[in-house]
Amino acid sequence: MKVGDTHYRSIWFDGEKSRVMIIDQRWLPHEFRVVALDTLDEFATAIRDMWVRGAPLIGATAAYGVAIETQRNASDEALDNAWERLHETRPTAVNLRWALDEMRGVLSSLPESERPAAAFRKAEEICNADVETNRMIGVHGLEIVRKIAATKKPGMPVNILTHCNAGWLATVDWGTATSPMYHAATAGIPIHVWVDETRPRNQGAQLTSWEMNSHGIPHHLIVDNAGGHLMQHGQVDMVIVGTDRTTASGDVCNKIGTYLKALAAHDNNVPFYVALPSSTIDWTVDDGVREIPIEERDDREVTHVFGRLEDGSVTSVQISPDGTPGGNPAFDVTPARLVTGLITERGVTEASREGLLGLFPERRSAA
């Protein structure tokens, strides 16, 4: 998407510099900082410490991490080591495993001399496919927004609540949850977005708000606990969120707090949609609550808040007493029964095994 006059993706290979570039998202919204990643270690750090984050972007970054490592050492052993190193960085988003498997699937059958070039080609292919997939999610999601707009008084916006950042910064481009928003804005459908701040790391406050701001989409930042109140008062027409892993039966794992939004939406008859590329479906898992590994992050993310002082320096402030430990599960699972629909690159379906298999019939034999 555009930043100023320049079109950016969240990750790209710079042909002139021969380097992989990313947007270091830790500095947003205060600073738009682009950095190069040059070694397997740097790729692993960038994913683990969330310089890049968001399920599809984690996968795309891992793909380039494998490519970079293959340039240094293209042996089977190095490939397996890169797979393990990158896989252990973050446990919940299944796109990471998916992208690593895609890379190993292509490379392992090739002679070592051909692997580096093939690895960069494959990583680029994964990125390009992600962009097209997310564009199609927007095309399908737009029709839902359009239908809701038709029920509103002329000129009144469709109020969409979203959680975390499932925007273009979380993917290679377009975003998943945001793609229908960008498409609606382009189609001239008035929308207004309620952006959950998304404690503890504030991806909503820092990243989604920045995206909405940059693209001129009307929005308000709200605290995580405001959603239920707004729904009770008819101020939310629909919810759209992303997901880090969706099971074969349609359970949806996403940023912590998503489940509570789904419960509130259910209680208030607000449609609750989840936007996802098929690379986020884990066909090996059925019961999301029991089977999906939930990342536990540093408790400092809970006991402290991070922000920027007027002099520009970034600082953290402790908000709890010394000695109070924080608990920090980073994701939760929303059962399929609370999900109105899944918006995928192939269309919209109910959150169920049959619904997903209807869109992805090639999976029937494996199911």
Q: What residues between 227 and 286 interact with ligand MRU by CB under 6 A? A: 242-244, 254-255
Assess 202 for contact with ligand MRU (CB under 6 A): no
- Minimum distance of ligand MRU from residue 293's CB (angstroms): 14
Sheet order of strands, 158-162 included: 219-222, 191-196, 158-162, 238-241, 272-275, 341-344, 347-349
Is 244 among the catalytic positions?
yes
Site string for ligand MRU, 136-175 (x = CB under 6 A): ----------------------------x-x---xx---x
- Closest to ligand MRU by CB, 1 or 330: 330
Q: What residues between 99 and 138 interact with ligand MRU by CB under 6 A? A: none
End-to-end CA distance of the chain: give it in Å, rounded. 37
- Minimum distance of ligand MRU from residue 91's CB (angstroms): 11
224, 244, 251, 332: the catalytic one is 244
> Are the CB atoms for 52 and 58 separated by under 8 Å?
yes
Residue from 1, 330, 357, 359 in contact with ligand MRU (CB under 6 A): 330
DSSP string, 286-319: --HHHHSPPPB--THHHHEEEEE-TTS-EEEEE-
d(CA 116, CA 238): 45
- Minimum distance of ligand MRU from residue 203's CB (angstroms): 5
DSSP string, 76-126: HHHHHHHHHHHHTS-SS-HHHHHHHHHHHHHHTTS-GGGHHHHHHHHHHHH
Site string for ligand MRU, 2-41 (x = CB under 6 A): ----------------------------------------
d(CA 144, CA 147): 5
CA 122 to chain centre: 21
Indicate the annotated binding residues for substrate: 53-55, 90, 203, 254-255
Binding site for ligand MRU (CB under 6 A): 53-56, 93, 164, 166, 170-171, 175-176, 203, 242-244, 254-255, 330
Catalytic residues: 244
